[in-house]
Amino acid sequence: MKEFLEFFSFADANVRYVTLGSVLLAGSSAVVGCFTLLRKRALVGDAVAHAVLPGVCLAFILSGTKNPFILLVGAFITGWISLILIDFITSRSRIKEDTAIGLVLSVFFGVGILLLTAIQHSGNAAQSGLDKFLFGKAASLVGEDLIAFSIVAILLLAATILFYKELKLLCFDETFAKTIGFPVRGLELLLTTLTVLAVVVGIQAVGVVLMAAMLITPAAAARFWTDRLGVMLVLAAIIGAFSGVAGAFVSYTAPAMPTGPWIVLIVSMIAILSFALAPNKGWIARILRRRRNKKLILEENLLKLLYHLGEDRQDYTTTRPLQELLDKRAIPAKEAKYGLAKLRAQGYLERSKAGWSLTPEGIKRGRRVVRLHRLWELYLTQYLHLASDHVHEDAETIEHIITPELEQRLLEELNYPELDPHSARIP
């Protein structure tokens, strides 16, 4: 508790620099990462992160100092060139984007390592700490670094807000953007520039190796919680900022722990929790939804079966023994018993010693399932020109997900038909 209070009092100047710097780096890169993720260019961040190393080394060689502004300019130039090269290789050759990314990444990073090795053997005393760009140096951020990061973060956020609608259209419908006259190429260059800036700033905290995670992971985690881009941007920024604070706190309480890797580890843990627990898209929600759908299909199949058995004599309330149902449809006995019990609890079936029978509500629901099945079969034969003996399986699936609105549309399109392709009456 003592360390917690000491850290969040921000009395120590170093704590202020590290925390605020980590928040700015993580939050701003997460916002730009949302657009990169939606453009399906997640690996681009990794390429840029590796491509900035030669720029940092060249900036140091030419200036002879480790001024963060000069190093950022050098990193930005080579990072930007790397993305232009990836686009050039992809558009002017048969090489796919992932291959182009691999080529550019390895060549630029190799050149960077050569330059870094040359600097380390040059005897220049000012080169001390330059290798921190490989693994990050968030725990040693100073006021000069913070000013540079603040300016870049403000530029990133301002550009995102100013060009929000244009970037949104570029991500979701590039063809429409071209049709209405948007400068798509210019917007792509803008997004490229923002991505490079985000990566250039981020490597100061987590280094070249881990920067791709800072760019993409918060965006991927936020994507699981919402379908709205604006909300996604805010969530990604919050996740990134929280990871920055948490990573700095861990590094403060355990000095041997590096800040950058802990930031990445925490944001990765948040992403894993999001993948699992998100209410609509998470793993658990998918499993539960799959189970609900399976139960729904079982219940409706049982109701449809009982309705079919009563169609010949138009007697839907006749009691049917369990074995008769199992003989007519290949349903495991255990699942059938469960489904019948569930339908009884819902008021769709009645049970007696002789077996199971439909209630008025059960007849109504069973009739609708049969109607949807036969309507869809008729639709497939009339509009898609499928043979009548090839439509049953598809109708077996689709009948469970047709909404009342779609049902009404089918009736109107088919002109309220009376018979299905097999000459069976549509109830």
The mean pLDDT of 93-101, rounded to a whole number, is 85
- The pLDDT value given to residue 130: 61
- The pLDDT value given to residue 205: 66
**DSSP string of 203-253, one letter each residue:** HHHHHHHHHHHHHHHHHHHHHTT-S-HHHHHHHHHHHHHHHHHHHHHHHHH
- The pLDDT value given to residue 309: 86
d(CA 263, CA 14): 17
> Which domains are seen in the chain, by residue range?
2-278 (1.10.3470.10), 286-413 (1.10.10.10)
163-174 tens-digit pLDDT:
999 889 888 888
Phi-psi region of 395 (alpha: psi -120 to 50; beta: other; left: phi over 0): alpha
Distance (Å) of CA 410 to CA 164, 166, 274, 404: 40, 38, 39, 10
- 30: pLDDT strictly greater than 60: yes
- 139: pLDDT strictly greater than 60: no
**The whole model's pTM is what?**
0.78
CB atoms within 10 A of CB 293: 12
Mean pLDDT of the chain: 84
